[in-house]
Structure 1
Amino acid sequence: MEEQWARDVEICLELGDRRKEFGGAVVPPTFGNTLFVYDSTDKLSEAVLNEQGSYVYTRGTNPTVETAEIKLAALERGEKCRCFSSGMGAISAALLNSLKSGDHVLCVSNLYFSTMGLINYLSKFNISHSVCYGTDAETIEGHLLPSTSVIFMESPSYMTFRVADLEGIASLAKERGIRTIIDNTWATPLFQKPLLHGIDIVVHSLSKYMGGHSDLIGGAVIASKDIIDTLFKKEFLLVGSTFSPYEATLLIRGLRTLPFRMLEHQKNAKKAAAFLEQHPNVRQVYYPGLPSHREYERGKRYFTGYSGLMGFEVTGGYKGVKRVLDKLNYIKIGVSWGSFESLALSPNTGQNERQLANERIAPGTIRLAVGLGPIERIIEDLEQALR
């Protein structure tokens, strides 16, 4: 693991920077231009015919974005990466590349609500879906249909933090010619590498830990060369969810400190989870880094570390979560996560408890993103809010 970590640090700090090519620049230049010119018609034609390997138009390939993609592919141990203007852009491309009319998507446990919204929307194109709330291969096998062509998962899962059996699911899927897609945003490539366990496609929201500063929106798809090459020509170029070179510069900056930030997130989160677990006003804590987690042993097979996002449950439904959240001071109420600040919210809006029950999410659930601030301040704030 030490060797893997050292390699990942080197990737974040230096891989793809091409300093000799860029005049010795310690930070890769931001190529904000929209197009690239050529000396002759023949050279332009040659570049257009090989747009993946040439700089023609920034909607296709751009040197700054390419640097970020080289780093992300290497971190995930994938062959190639494409960055998109948002995490949903990446998820949309991965699904559209994997599906056709008449296909079925099997969702494993809880998925990000916008991902589920997209999968629901695909019914317009005669693509159906179902959800299996079990996370082991045997249970998932019982939910497969003859038309299942994609198994989509987050591990840990959205809001409930269940841990999927990646190797079992990947093996099951390969036997049946089913493509597997995982959202690996929670763990980052530093703490989980799904491609090494047989998963076909990894997607990320780059807005979270990868960027790390709450100042960029982006997404990534990482997979084999064959998958990314077909995706480039269709779901990437034609849909046009282009990752800006300015955002790519921010991402490259974020990646340089990613290994060191993740260790701090992990240290703080473990302390916060342990505090919450022993608090009398907390019914349950959902954090894969706790030995009490129902799939802790499974997680040890896949995670080499644990990020700062967790859930915990209080009593009283919407009134209970509102009472706790509104008393927070140091921890802010807001969406997203993965940056320096600590954030909290609840999936319970006061009007959706029946939906939460259907999705097996407790009505008293609060999601906590433990940031990089002093853990004493974070725990103190939790204590006074829960009192």
Structure 2
Amino acid sequence: MDLDWILNHLGEERERYFGAVAPPLLQSSNFAFPTVADMRAQAGDEFGHHFYTRGNNPTVEILRRKLAALEGAEDCLVFGSGAAAIAAAVIASVSAGDHVVCVQKPYSWTRRLLADLLPRFAVTTTFVDAADAGSVEAALTPGTRLLVLESPNTLTFELQDLAALAAVARPRGVRTLCDNSYASPLNQSPLAFGIDLVAHSATKYIGGHGDVVAGALCGPQALLREVFRGPYMTLGAIPSPHDAWLLLRGLRTLPLRMRRCAATALQVAAFLEAHPKVERVWYPHLPSHPQHALALRQMRGGSGLLSLAIRCEDVSGVERFCDALRRFLMSVSWGGYESLACPIAAFLPAGTSAAAKAGQVPANLVRLSIGLEEPDVLIADLAQALDRV
């Protein structure tokens, strides 16, 4: 099945809705049945039927089918946020007394789930540098049930060798979960390397327009039914049908957007790497990235997310740089049509030394999300802002 078919036709049974080219938005929360027997049959399998929108909805189901196909998965569940997708996958995989191994620098809410919330229920986590498969293997215990990966992460872009880690985990009965938000389904396929479950913040590249918050979890249907019966239906962190409709719209242009932002990001990264006021650039597809060879082997392409460290004495230099930007909006999140700048300094007191760290991230780090603007425009804006440092 080719990419164009998935994005434009898969799951869109147009003969069922008057031949409309765009799928309908079925906003209904509830569905009616002609007989008790029909109601009974559908109540027994909400995963695959339209019974109540908290479980399944026709508009959401079209999105599920497309995302599953893009990831090469049997099925997909869609959530109200990426954090909800990760949390549901983790909660469905562990019980009291179990142990989790996680990458050292995961998404902040993944860390909060594992480090702050789950210990209240007797689930412990070891955070390791998962760039080394040996370190992961050494961290596994007889009680380890889950390995949480994020390749690459979205601040300093460490990768993991997914095939090697799947080979470590699977014989030991350890389930693997990979956050694939950075690469999108187009540029990396963790399931093909032996990973069990793949999560996305669909807010980012899948949506791509900065107007919806959502998440996705892809994998074997048996595992997803386990998630569905447990945290998905119990906690109800679902998307609205309108959110799903917006995500379907975003998918239409995903290949075009990914190619454009990745090409521009590589130009921006090269410019920044050569600038005297930039201490360091993090971007997996730069030849200088320490895991560049793994990025080329494991990923089909880059994305628009990169980070730089400003050469300055304290975060006031970072503030001058960011305040001078005119084509980058200062904001959290990433993956949209618009270019964004997110300074770590915004989460630290004014005057903090540039050598200080916020957790494991340098105080002088600024993350850039490259959008669809012309490369020369963005580079010129960065150049004039660096002059203020």
> TM range, normalised to the smaller chain?
over 0.9
* Per-residue Cα deviation, 1:1-36 (whole angstroms, up to 9, x for no partner): xxxxx8223211211111122221111111101111
Match of 2:274 in 1: 278
Whether contact under 8 Å (2:67, 2:76) holds in the other structure is: yes
Identity %: 39
Kindly indicate whether residue 36 of structure 2 is the aligned counterpart of residue 36 of structure 1. no
Match of 1:320 in 2: 317
Residue 85 of structure 2 is aligned with which of 73, 76, 90? 90
Structure-2 separation of matches of 1:139 and 1:223: 26
Deviation at 1:130, TM superposition (A): 1.8
Structure-2 separation of matches of 1:135 and 1:357: 21
Residue 350 of structure 1 is aligned with which of 339, 348, 351? 348
Query: Secondary structure at 1:55's aligned position in 2?
Result: coil
Structure-2 separation of matches of 1:96 and 1:77: 24
Query: Secondary structure at 2:218's aligned position in 1?
Result: strand
* Per-residue Cα deviation, 1:253-274 (whole angstroms, up to 9, x for no partner): 0001101111101111111011
Match of 2:263 in 1: 267
Match of 2:16 in 1: 21
Structure-1 separation of matches of 2:333 and 2:220: 29
Whether contact under 8 Å (1:105, 1:127) holds in the other structure is: yes
Instruction: Single out whichever of 298-307 and 348-357 deviates more from structure 2.
Output: 348-357
* Per-residue Cα deviation, 1:188-236 (whole angstroms, up to 9, x for no partner): 0000010000111101111111011001111111010110111111111
Deviation at 1:74, TM superposition (A): 0.3
Match of 2:378 in 1: 378
Whether contact under 8 Å (1:347, 1:366) holds in the other structure is: yes
Structure 2 unaligned regions, length at least 5: none
Residue 188 of structure 1 is aligned with which of 169, 180, 184? 184
Structure-1 separation of matches of 2:316 and 2:176: 39
Deviation at 1:134, TM superposition (A): 4.1
Match of 1:74 in 2: 69
Query: Secondary structure at 1:129's aligned position in 2?
Result: strand
Structure-2 separation of matches of 1:355 and 1:385: 21
Query: Secondary structure at 1:211's aligned position in 2?
Result: coil
Match of 1:338 in 2: 335
Count residues in correspondence. 382
Structure-2 separation of matches of 1:219 and 1:353: 36
CA distance 1:108–1:355, change in 2 (3 Å): farther
Query: Secondary structure at 2:224's aligned position in 1?
Result: helix
Instruction: Single out whichever of 104-113 and 289-298 deviates more from structure 2.
Output: 104-113
Deviation at 1:357, TM superposition (A): 4.1
Structure-2 separation of matches of 1:94 and 1:171: 20
Match of 1:172 in 2: 168
The alignment's C-alpha RMSD in Å is 1.7
Deviation at 1:317, TM superposition (A): 4.0
Whether contact under 8 Å (1:109, 1:135) holds in the other structure is: no
CA distance 1:80–1:354, change in 2 (3 Å): farther
Residue 242 of structure 2 is aligned with which of 224, 246, 266? 246
* Per-residue Cα deviation, 1:85-108 (whole angstroms, up to 9, x for no partner): 111111111110111111111111
Residue correspondence of structure 1 range 196-235 to structure 2 within 5 A: 196-235=192-231
Query: Secondary structure at 2:15's aligned position in 1?
Result: coil
Whether contact under 8 Å (2:354, 2:364) holds in the other structure is: no
Deviation at 1:283, TM superposition (A): 1.1
Match of 1:62 in 2: 57
CA distance 1:354–1:325, change in 2 (3 Å): closer
Deviation at 1:356, TM superposition (A): 7.0
* Per-residue Cα deviation, 1:132-165 (whole angstroms, up to 9, x for no partner): 1241212221222332211112111131101111
Structure-1 separation of matches of 2:354 and 2:314: 12
- State TM-score, norm by structure 1: 0.95
Residue 51 of structure 1 is aligned with which of 42, 46, 49? 46
CA distance 1:358–1:342, change in 2 (3 Å): closer
Structure-1 separation of matches of 2:5 and 2:128: 39
CA distance 1:233–1:370, change in 2 (3 Å): same
CA distance 1:36–1:356, change in 2 (3 Å): farther
Deviation at 1:109, TM superposition (A): 2.8
Residue correspondence of structure 1 range 275-314 to structure 2 within 5 A: 275-314=271-310
Query: Secondary structure at 2:40's aligned position in 1?
Result: helix
Structure-1 separation of matches of 2:103 and 2:185: 20
Whether contact under 8 Å (1:9, 1:259) holds in the other structure is: no
Residue 97 of structure 2 is aligned with which of 97, 102, 110? 102
Query: In the alignment, residue 306 of structure 2 is paired with which amino acid?
Result: M
* Per-residue Cα deviation, 1:62-91 (whole angstroms, up to 9, x for no partner): 100000000000000011100011111111
- State TM-score, norm by structure 2: 0.95
Whether contact under 8 Å (1:205, 1:220) holds in the other structure is: yes
Whether contact under 8 Å (1:109, 1:162) holds in the other structure is: no
CA distance 1:181–1:148, change in 2 (3 Å): same
Structure-1 separation of matches of 2:84 and 2:96: 20
Query: In the alignment, residue 15 of structure 1 is paired with which amino acid?
Result: L
Match of 1:3 in 2: none
Whether contact under 8 Å (1:155, 1:182) holds in the other structure is: yes
